[in-house]
Amino acid sequence: MHEAAFGQHANRVKKIQVTTKGPSRKQAIIPVHNDLAESIMGDASTHVFQINAQLKNVKSLMCSKFIRPCSGGIAIVTNNVPNPSNLSIIEKYLNQLKALTVMIFQALDSHSPNHT
C-alpha cells in the first residue's frame, strides 16, 4: 500500500517545489503525486485554514482562497500574487504535511498483517 501511494522511493521524502503561473498568477502550483493531491483535496478547507494561519503568523497580507486540482498536482488560489516569502510558507507547510503522510503510511504498513 505504501509503495502504491508514494512510489518505490517513499522513504526519501522529496521536497515539494512550489511555483506560480497562469493567467492571473494569483496561485501557488504544487506538483504532487495523485494520491497526495487527492488526500489534500479531501480535506481542502482544513489545509486552506492552516495555510492562512501560517501566513497570518508572519503578518502576510496574502491568504489562500481555495485549493483546486490541476494537471500534475494542486493549485492554491490566493487573493494576491504570492511573493517568494509566501511561497516558502506554503512550501514548508506542504512538506511537513507530506512527511507526516509518509510516516502514517509507514506505520500502517508495519502494522498490516501482510507486512513481512
- Decide if 77 contacts 66 (C-beta within 8 A): yes
pLDDT at 67 over 90: yes
Mean pLDDT over each residue of the chain, to the nearest integer: 82
Angle at the Cα of 61 (from 60 to 66), degrees rounded to 5?
100
What is the C-alpha separation between 6 and 25, in angstroms, rounded? 29
Domain count, the chain: 1
**116 within domain boundaries:** no
* Nearest residue to 91 via CA among 108, 74, 104: 74
Write out the residue range of the structural domain in which residue 29 sits: 2-111
**34 within domain boundaries:** yes
Band (pLDDT 50/70/90 cuts) for residue 15 is low
* Kind plus residue range of the DSSP H or E element containing 39: helix 34-42
Task: Give me the CATH number covering residue 93.
Answer: 3.30.70
pLDDT at 2 over 50: no
pLDDT at 109 over 60: yes
pLDDT tens string 16-64: 666 666 556 899 988 988 888 988 999 999 999 999 999 999 999 999 9
**71 within domain boundaries:** yes
pTM for this one? Answer: 0.72
**23 within domain boundaries:** yes
Q: What is the pLDDT of residue 112?
A: 67
